[in-house]
């Protein structure tokens, strides 16, 4: 005999992010990197490229204090946006969500500037390596808040979407700092 107090929760059916999915909801706009995450190939790389271009466009008008506030505010708003979007896609860490790459790479660029094109390109390559390959601490951070596919996405998992990219940014910055210290 079954327990009458037990409730049955059907598994959630994952959805695919599309332009139609993105348009009606501001959380989706933010989490999907204003459309850069809709790239059919390598959305994380495309989102990071968008972040690089956006940084270069914004930087002439930004102070260190402005960048700090943008990163803090972007993290709080991004936590909400990434959580809501992952819930609506019914996937714990959808590849189309790229706001995590945007914020993390803005942090990298903010801290390595002024750097010429090649310095920025090296930062881009290092960040993409740490974000995609997930060595050591990045793998740990990625697994810390992992959710189960088909289950509801929690606020912790929404934070986890951002967290592993910040760890990848930290690893990138450590490598750049070591390189600068050795070459000085």
Q: What confidence tens digit (pLDDT) does each residue in 44-93 have?
A: 999 999 999 999 999 999 999 999 999 999 999 999 999 999 999 999 89
Domain range annotation of the chain? 19-183
Record the pTM.
Answer: 0.91
User: Please, which pLDDT band fits residue 117 given cuts at 50, 70 and 90?
Assistant: very high
Cα–Cα distance list, 180 to 119, 151, 183 (Å): 11, 45, 5
Measured between alpha carbons, how far apart are the two ends of the chain, in Å? 74
State the pLDDT confidence band at 8, using cuts at 50, 70 and 90.
Answer: very low
Q: What is the pLDDT of residues 142-180, one digit of tens each?
A: 999 987 777 889 999 999 999 999 999 999 999 999 999
| Separation of alpha carbons 113 and 167, rounded Å | 19
């Amino acid at each position: 005999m079954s327990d009458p107090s037990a409730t049955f929760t059907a598994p959630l059916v994952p959805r695919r992010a599309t332009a139609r999915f993105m348009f009606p909801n501001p959380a989706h706009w933010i989490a999907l990197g204003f459309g850069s995450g809709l790239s059919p190939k390598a959305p994380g790389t495309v989102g990071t490229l968008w972040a690089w271009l956006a940084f270069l466009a914004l930087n002439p008008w930004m102070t260190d204090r402005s960048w700090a506030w943008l990163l803090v505010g972007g993290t709080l708003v991004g936590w909400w946006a990434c959580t809501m979007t992952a819930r609506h896609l019914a996937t714990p860490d959808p590849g189309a969500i790229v706001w995590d790459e945007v914020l993390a790479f803005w942090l990298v660029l903010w801290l390595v500037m002024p750097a010429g094109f090649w310095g920025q390109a090296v930062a881009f390559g290092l960040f993409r390596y740490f974000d995609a390959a997930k060595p050591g601490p990045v793998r740990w951070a990625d697994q810390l808040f992992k959710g189960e596919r088909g289950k509801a996405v929690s606020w912790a998992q929404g934070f986890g979407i951002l967290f592993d990219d910040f760890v990848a940014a930290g690893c990138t910055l450590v490598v750049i700092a070591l390189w600068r210290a050795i070459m000085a």
